[in-house]
Amino acid sequence: MTPLVVATQNPGKLAEMQHHLSEFSWELQFMPAGLEIEETGQTFAENAALKACQVAEHTGQWAIADDSGLEVMALKGAPGIYSARYGKTDADRIQRLLTALGDVGNDLRSVGDHRSAQFVCAIALARPDGRLACQAQGVCLGEILMTPQGEGGFGYDPIFYVPSMQRTFAELSRETKQRISHRGEAFKALRPQLLNLQTELGF
């Protein structure tokens, strides 16, 4: 199998990548400990590409990276690429977001377009010489609730409500979330490119 370095030290993210890439002949590995990649891009796509290319160049192996976050329409797309840095803890980030939105809407399950939001995920795959091989982006549309609902997930999951599922991300099973999430959609978009790449490389 061909080694593929994932730009993370997070076991959960590595496991999720393995799930989405299970049909391909990649042997996923953590990126080297201590390797720091500064996310200087202005978009999710730029940051994903930057991470994948720098990890590939550093290791001399194929590398994959993602960058994701929450965009709230009423906040002009904030927190966006700064989603993970919007507070020190998940609770801090949720409270800051709810405070920024203010007391808009009264019905938890029908909060309306004024609280519309989307999770965005960009994925990039880089060749061993650091050149970008392919990339894709996925989106999951939803709304921001006024109070958290559900015990699962992480980050903003308890306040991100998906109308089509009538649940928040935190109320969905892991399997369902993986299937409908922004990351799941990004991998669906990336799949045809990966199939072409697999044919090109002959594995």
Q: Which residues pair with 27 in a beta bridge?
A: 3
* Catalytic residue, candidates 66, 67, 103, 129: 67
67 is catalytic: yes
Interatomic CA distance for residues 107 and 154, integer angstroms:
23
Distance CA 165, CA 174 (A): 14
And the tokens for 77? 């797309």
Which two three-digit tokens encode residue 179?
A: 């299937």
How far is the C-alpha of 145 from the C-alpha of 170, rounded, in Å?
Answer: 12
Encoded tokens for 51: 């991470």
Q: How many CA atoms lie within 13 A of 177 on its CB side?
A: 17
**Annotated active-site positions, please?**
67
